[in-house]
Chains A and B, each alone.
Chain A
Amino acid sequence: MAEAIKTDSVTIPTPGELFTALGKPAKPDWASRYRGPIAMNYKTRTQIALNLGGLIADGFIAVEAQDTQQVKNIGGDIVKLAKALGVSENILARGNSINQFAGNDEWSALQEELEATQNEVKASMQSHRDQDLVILVSLGGWIRGTDVVSGVVAKNYDERLGQILRQPELLRFIRSKIGQISPELQNDPLIKSVNNQLASIERIVATPFGQSLSAAEVSKLNDSVSQVMKEIQKKDQ
């Protein structure tokens, strides 16, 4: 399968898929997984891109919680951060759709709309020659999603839940995409630090196919991704 096509938009799952896998067996209290508001005025485009991905994951959490107001709040923040990156005006229409779907309790449509919003942002980045930032949006979403899920699994561990977090090839793919971005961005202190930490995270989630992560591995994963998450959302990098 070495010749397989791997793309950002198909090969990287959405946070919604990860939350669906957790939701069935664990029935988490999603609202308890909210975090406080994040800054809207980061200085670098790399940090904005990473946080935009994290916000989209927050949107999926609010959808799981079926929390209309939280979805609307996050939708507004997504539009603000996307505008800070100078992406197209289409994102405004997406923001309006998110509000409408939330107002009508269209939770399934909202999951699709959140991903479509993310893809709209990425398409706009590509047309503005910001393609290096695309993988950072996906990465931000993966980190925030894994932060939440590993936290829930660590507290309620069983082997079935530990199986959800096994994803070595996904990490390998994300890291290979980071390896392709411009040397200038790779030298960005935040990217350098996140990439270094991803190397050790990849080792944690790399159990053989069919084998779950142990309780200790899940805790270690949660500590690691929480640390990366804090670094990403910290103001004044």
Chain B
Amino acid sequence: MGRCLNFCLTSMLALALGASALAETDEEVAARQVALELAGAFSNDGFKLRDGHWTGTLARGESKVIAVNLYAGNEYWFSAGATDKAKKLTLAVFDETGAPVTGEKFNSGTKAATGVLVDNSGEYFIRVRLEEGEPAGVCFLYSYK
């Protein structure tokens, strides 16, 4: 059964990456692999991974803000991964009013994550920023439980 599950998971990843690869650059596909590796750690803690994701390229000092709609009572981990050219990536979460939302943080070179417990349903904004390094492919995704 374990072998079957491994095969299925590998097939899923291949299909997911294959479908995305139609529209994404090699850099962005590589960044998604980094983000998926990071998010995989939260799956061990019962978090379900969203298949939907954002990919793009960030230059040093550049950031992108991604809008998500979250539900009160859910816990979320937001993960970002980048290719090797990135040296430091950061994530910040803001609520619908623009107020920062505090939570657990993780940063390690090409990876960054932040975890929050949501008290109020609504729109939230996740800022992904390349603090240090050369322009790099970046991927953002999230998990919930």
Give chain A's interface residues, CB within 8 Å of chain B. 1, 3-14, 16-18, 20-21, 24-25, 90, 93-94, 97, 100-101, 104, 106, 108-109, 111-113, 115-116, 118-120, 123, 127, 160, 163-170, 173, 209-210
In the bound complex, what is the Cα–Cα distance between A24 and B74 (angstroms)? Answer: 9
Q: Which residue of A lies closest to B53 (CB)?
A: A10
In the bound complex, what is the Cα–Cα distance between A234 and B142 (angstroms)? Answer: 35
A100-B8, A116-B12, A167-B69 known; A5-B51 Cβ under 8 A: no
In the bound complex, what is the Cα–Cα distance between A168 and B70 (angstroms)? Answer: 12
Residues of A with C-beta under 8 A to B12: 97, 112-113, 116
A100-B8, A127-B22 known; A167-B65 Cβ under 8 A: no
Q: Are A119 and B1 in contact (CB under 8 A)?
A: no
**Chain B interface secondary structure, helix, strand, loop or mixed?**
mixed
Interface residues of B in 74-96 (CB under 8 A from A): 74, 94-96
Residues of B with C-beta under 8 A to A90: 15, 19
The 9 closest A-B pairs by CB, nearest first: A9-B52, A21-B71, A169-B123, A4-B67, A163-B72, A170-B69, A4-B65, A116-B51, A115-B51
A5-B65, A10-B54 known; A120-B122 Cβ under 8 A: no
In the bound complex, what is the Cα–Cα distance between A11 and B125 (angstroms)? Answer: 10
A5-B54, A127-B22, A209-B120 known; A13-B70 Cβ under 8 A: yes
Interface residues on B, range: 35 or more
In the bound complex, what is the Cα–Cα distance between A94 and B123 (angstroms)? Answer: 31
A115-B50, A119-B52 known; A24-B71 Cβ under 8 A: no
Min distance, Cβ A151 to any Cβ of chain B, angstroms: 17
In the bound complex, what is the Cα–Cα distance between A149 and B76 (angstroms)? Answer: 20
A90-B15, A108-B43, A160-B73 known; A16-B68 Cβ under 8 A: no
Asked if B64 is an interface residue, CB under 8 A from chain A, the answer is yes
Interface mask (B110-138 → A, CB under 8 Å = 1, otherwise 0): 00000000011111010000000000000
Residues of B with C-beta under 8 A to A18: 71
Q: Are B69 and A166 in contact (CB under 8 A)?
A: no
Residues of B with C-beta under 8 A to A94: 15
Interface centre among B48, B121, B140 (most CB of A within 10 A): B121
Q: What are 26 A-B interface contacts by the 8 Å CB criterion?
A: A5-B66, A7-B52, A10-B50, A10-B53, A10-B67, A10-B68, A11-B66, A11-B69, A16-B48, A20-B74, A21-B73, A94-B15, A97-B11, A104-B5, A108-B48, A112-B12, A112-B51, A116-B16, A116-B51, A164-B121, A166-B120, A166-B122, A167-B122, A169-B122, A209-B95, A210-B120
Q: Which residue of A lies closest to B52 (CB)?
A: A9
Q: Are B66 and A4 in contact (CB under 8 A)?
A: yes
In the bound complex, what is the Cα–Cα distance between A72 and B22 (angstroms)? Answer: 29
Min distance, Cβ B95 to any Cβ of chain A, angstroms: 7
Residues of A with C-beta under 8 A to B5: 104, 106, 109
A10-B53, A93-B11 known; A4-B125 Cβ under 8 A: yes
A20-B144, A127-B22 known; A1-B15 Cβ under 8 A: no
Residues of A with C-beta under 8 A to B96: 169, 209
A97-B11, A166-B120 known; A115-B52 Cβ under 8 A: yes
In the bound complex, what is the Cα–Cα distance between A108 and B47 (angstroms)? Answer: 8
Q: Which residue of A lies closest to B144 (CB)?
A: A17
Min distance, Cβ B71 to any Cβ of chain A, angstroms: 4
Min distance, Cβ B28 to any Cβ of chain A, angstroms: 14
Q: Are A93 and B68 in contact (CB under 8 A)?
A: no
